[in-house]
Amino acid sequence: MKLPSFQQPDHSLRRPRRSDLRCATASARGFTLIELMIAIVIGAILLAIGVPSVREMILNQTVKGAANDFYSDLAFARSEAIKRNAQIVIEQQSGGWVNGWSVKSGANTLRTQSAFDSNHMSYSGATATSVTFNADGRTTLGSNTSFNFSSASSGPVSMRCVVVTPSGRPAVLIDSNRNGNCQDG
């Protein structure tokens, strides 16, 4: 019986032949040694390009995090001084601001910041070992005081300066032009 020309048999339902299976498995065995070596070389090149930028990103985030943590604790201390109508003090840990600080109300410790990795972080700026906020939110500092956090290694990481005014208002400034002065950008 011959089928009409418009109806062709559906070969997708037929069972595959052994020769079809052998050809399919032979072509799907994996990479050749040359292909594998090319992939490894490309991966090594991409890794060599990416590692320095990842290191820079980690250093930048460390500096940024330290400045933001200090700013946050200054704002918290000022707020607590006004709320409690009492003096609140932020004291550096022994060895400097990079070793951490604590926010205190009298003998009570309200917050503590742990030390930063000294291999990645350095501190410069104000020699004050503490910042005291009065009940009106003002500091006992006589003028604008800058606490500068920067990367311990040289490189393209911008210094961050936390500046506290005598009125008690903190601000974070960035040394975008990397000249060692946050005041001019």
Maximum distance among all Cα pairs of the chain, rounded to whole angstroms: 108
In this prediction, residue 143 carries a pLDDT of 85
Query: From the CB of residue 99, how many other CB atoms can be counted at a distance below 10 Å?
Result: 15
Q: What pTM, to 2 d.p., does this model score? A: 0.72
pLDDT at 66 over 70: yes
Q: How far apart are CA 52 and CA 156, in angstroms?
A: 11
Digit-coded pLDDT (tens) for 126-148: 888 899 999 999 998 888 888 88
Q: Which residues contact 91 (CB under 8 A, 6 or more apart)?
A: 101, 102, 104, 129, 130
| pLDDT value at 108 more than 80 | yes
Residue 157 confidence (pLDDT): 75
Q: Which of 28-42, 101-115, 139-153 has the highest mean pLDDT?
A: 101-115
Whether 156 contacts 178, CB under 8 Å: yes
Residue 7 — very low, low, confident or very high, per pLDDT cuts 50/70/90?
Answer: low
DSSP 35-82: HHHHHHHHHHHHHHHHHHHHHHHHHHHHHHHHHHHHHHHHHHHHHHHH
Phi-psi bin for 98: left (phi > 0), alpha (psi -120 to 50), beta?
alpha
How many helices, marked H, and strands, marked E, lie in the chain? Answer: 2, 8
Sorted by where each starts, the structural domains of the chain and their CATH numbers stand as 33-184 (3.55.40.10)
For residues 80 and 103, the answer to whether their CB atoms sit within 8 Å is: yes
Name which of 177, 179, 68, 81 is nearest 131 in CA terms: 81
Residue with tokens 């070596």: 37
Given a cut of 90, is residue 79 above it in pLDDT?
yes
CA 92 from centre of chain: 23
Separation CA 181–CA 163 (nearest Å)? 12
The alpha-helical segments, DSSP class H, found in the chain are 18-26, 33-84
